[in-house]
Structure 1
Amino acid sequence: MSKNIINHVEFPVADAERSRHFYEAVLKPLGLSLVRSIEPTRTAHGGARHGFGRNGYPSLWVHEQKEARCPIHVALTADTHDGVRAFHVAALANGGTENGGPGIRERYHARYYAAYVLDPDGNNIEAVCQTE
């Protein structure tokens, strides 16, 4: 039986290509990469889809959707504090907006080291390391 609770997460974005470029850059420090892209003609909703993950399995998907969207929060695991910092730098350099720089978040616990950014669609994306 798998230890993972969630198999994958998918959320809508206004521009799939813009988001693909953003997520390729910000997920790289976390060991995630683009695994699969699906053309708009092959999707049920008519927008491109891009899946990111590790070991050839896409666990985080974005799909283009032109209608109104509600922002979401996704927290992604980083193996090290350096990974959190690299995620944050990459996000800001690739169209992300500051939403909480790297640091310990005592309100959660003494080892909760995280950084928060808003992606180009206003989604709150977090990288967190809880092991150092």
Structure 2
Amino acid sequence: MTIDHVGFAVSPSKFESLVSWYITALAPLGYAKQMEFPGQAVGFGPSEGEAPFWIAAREEEKGVGMHLAFRAKDHETVDKFYEEAIKAGGTCNGKPGLRAQYHPNYYGAFVLDPVGNNVEVVDHTPKN
């Protein structure tokens, strides 16, 4: 498994100004805004459609902090991660399933770790 993408959440009042800062700060590295869910999240990356770094707007009571996504080899691995993470004391933040709003083959699960970080495991391959 490899890291698929990483990001963090900030309060909505700081979201737009922070996105603007990162647009400027990351330009010398070749990173630009590649994906956007207006007012909710922005993904940055080195080329079109590639967004390994994300910033999301989230109210503090829903958790601000880090988001870390690992890439799985198949859907079954995503399911197993979810089961084991919940058994180990994690909190559901999105059961395993397709997330077509990201792309048609995006199959992921989300669990908050014991200190509130959002950990995701995702598989991008089509299910036959």
Taking structure 2 as the reference length, what is the TM-score of the superposition? 0.49
Taking structure 1 as the reference length, what is the TM-score of the superposition? 0.47
